[in-house]
């Protein structure tokens, strides 16, 4: 379960870096980065409840 959380965190970070590196719009990078963080926090909360 922790492996899935780590993979999602890495993908969210990678997506954020790619958006910033390609200059595809800072607001898009923030949107996807924020979505990844929210998803990560949700998964951590679910894992802790189990």
Give Cα 45 distance to the centre of its chain.
15
With cut-offs at 50, 70 and 90, classify the pLDDT of residue 27.
low
Of 2-6, 7-11, 30-34, where does mean pLDDT reach its minimum? 30-34
Q: Are 24 and 32 in contact (CB under 8 A)?
A: no
Q: How far apart are CA 37 and CA 8, in angstroms?
A: 9
Residue 14 pLDDT: 82
């Amino acid at each position: 379960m922790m492996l899935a959380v780590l993979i999602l965190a890495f993908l969210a970070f990678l997506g954020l870096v790619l958006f910033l590196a390609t200059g595809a719009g800072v607001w898009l990078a923030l949107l996807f980065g924020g979505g990844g963080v929210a998803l990560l926090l949700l998964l951590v909360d679910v894992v802790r409840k189990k």
